[in-house]
Amino acid sequence: MAKLIWSPRSLDDIDSICRYIARDSERYARLFGERVLAMAESIAERPLAGAMVPEYQRQDLRERLLQNYRMVYRVRGDVVEIATIVHAARLLPPSPPG
């Protein structure tokens, strides 16, 4: 299993998303946060199972989908870094996150 690390940006993303969801439902915000953590753990178990991020076409940048969100992560040997979590309707920046 790869070592899992979170970028400061990804932690801010989770916080912002959960605060947004909590405006309507604290329960669903908590469930979303739990699903994010579970997905990150599954990524650490099989890092290359995620698809390459289409905008960047780099082997080291992968993504997994969770509901309407994209979890973008970087694979570096035996380390997986969660780079960002963005709504699927949003565009990623022209250069890779992190």
Within 10 Å of residue 39's Cβ, how many Cβ atoms? 19
In a domain, 96, yes or no: no
Within 10 Å of residue 65's Cβ, how many Cβ atoms? 12
Reported pTM: 0.91
How far is the C-alpha of 43 from the C-alpha of 34, rounded, in Å?
14
- Read off the CATH number of the domain in which 69 is found: 3.30.2310.20
Tens-of-pLDDT digits for all 98 residues of the chain?
899 999 999 999 999 999 999 999 999 999 999 999 999 999 999 999 999 999 998 999 999 999 999 999 999 999 999 999 999 998 887 777 76
In a domain, 54, yes or no: yes
In a domain, 44, yes or no: yes
How far is the C-alpha of 11 from the C-alpha of 61, rounded, in Å?
18
In a domain, 57, yes or no: yes
Phi, psi values for residue 27, rounded to 5°? -60, -50
Closest CA to 92 of 72, 66, 64: 72
Number of domains in the chain: 1
In a domain, 95, yes or no: no
